[in-house]
A = this chain, B = another copy of it.
């Protein structure tokens, strides 16, 4: 049985590794910062992960998930995202508050219960924020990679994911109809003003938001 601390490190490492790209080693400092822990703690945990066969650790180089570790990370992601869907679709919680809840629940839900949740929800492929849910076998669809800050203009697009867990941002996005599934068209992008103006299918008025916010809203061809 793995501790939930170990599970958290593995999950975080997965994200850091994805950000670093292509099986790069993640430096201990990065991992420490991501886990809000001192560097020494990250080092000792790096060794622990290696002992558990979940990662490779090279002194002064960093850590990298092993195939085992990646499998675990994907399993955690599946749990997390299915739980978020349950909380929103069945229990009616707001999408802005489910991340924190799921963060706790993902460590104690059994495989059996998870399967039931999956079935009850009709085997969903994405969570409330649009993030893809890995399959039970550990396969995850490639998520949309273009944001409103860089997409083509004058072309109808579907919002695929909103990549920010901050409740305030999520509430803002919801208030303005910028949730997964919504269709929008960027009418103008002004690099000097660092702003993006767009037309939302449901509303007649134009809406402008800064590129920093726009970069968090991922789209795909409608």
Contact = CB atoms under 8 A, between A and B. Distances in A.
Contact of A108 (B91, B107, B113): B107
Contacts of A90: 90, 120
Interface string A78-120: 0000000001001111000100010011011110110011001
Contact of A112 (B93, B110, B120): B93
Nearest to A114: B91
B107 A101 contact: no
A102 to B, nearest CB: 10
Report how many copies the assembly holds. Answer: 2
B101 A113 contact: yes
A93 B113 contact: yes
Nearest to A108: B104
B91 A117 contact: yes
A3 to B, nearest CB: 13
Contacts of A112: 93, 97, 101
Contacts of A108: 104-105, 107-108
23 contacts: A87-B113, A90-B90, A90-B120, A91-B113, A91-B116, A91-B117, A91-B120, A92-B116, A92-B120, A93-B112, A93-B113, A93-B116, A97-B112, A101-B110, A101-B112, A101-B113, A104-B108, A104-B110, A105-B105, A105-B108, A105-B109, A107-B108, A108-B108
Report the 7 A-B pairs with minimum CB-CB distance, sorted nearest first.
A104-B108, A91-B116, A108-B108, A105-B108, A101-B110, A101-B113, A92-B116
